[in-house]
Amino acid sequence: MGEGSDLMLVGEVAAICRTNVSTVRFWIQTGKLPSLRPGRRRLVRRSDLESFLARSGELAQRNRAKDPR
């Protein structure tokens, strides 16, 4: 898919997020991360990943603010 492409393979998403491919697949299966399947491969739009990461970051900040430690 390459760096400039708007579509990324699940493995590329996992590398960017520094997580396992199975974690990315879980995000997709639970509807947290939108994806496409034009053939045999599961693809994620770069814009969808950026939105997902922004939402995840906001949630992490809110959870840190609630933590009394």
Identity at 60, one-letter amino acid code: A
Q: Which of 40, 39, 36 is nearest to 6 (CA)?
A: 36
Residue 33 pLDDT > 90, yes or no? yes
Query: How much is the pLDDT for 3?
Result: 52
- Could you list the beta-strand ranges (E) of the chain: 7-9, 43-45
At residue 9, what are phi and psi to the nearest 5 degrees?
-75, 160
Instruction: Indicate whether 23 belongs to any domain.
Output: yes
CA dist list (Å): 7 to 3, 13, 60, 67, 68: 9, 10, 26, 36, 40
* Within-domain flag for 24: yes
pTM (whole model) above 0.85: no
Asked if residue 3 is part of any domain, the answer here is no
d(CA 12, CA 1) in angstroms, rounded, equals 9
Domain count, the chain: 1
Say what the pLDDT of residue 56 is. 87
* Full residue range of the structural domain in which residue 44 is found: 8-66
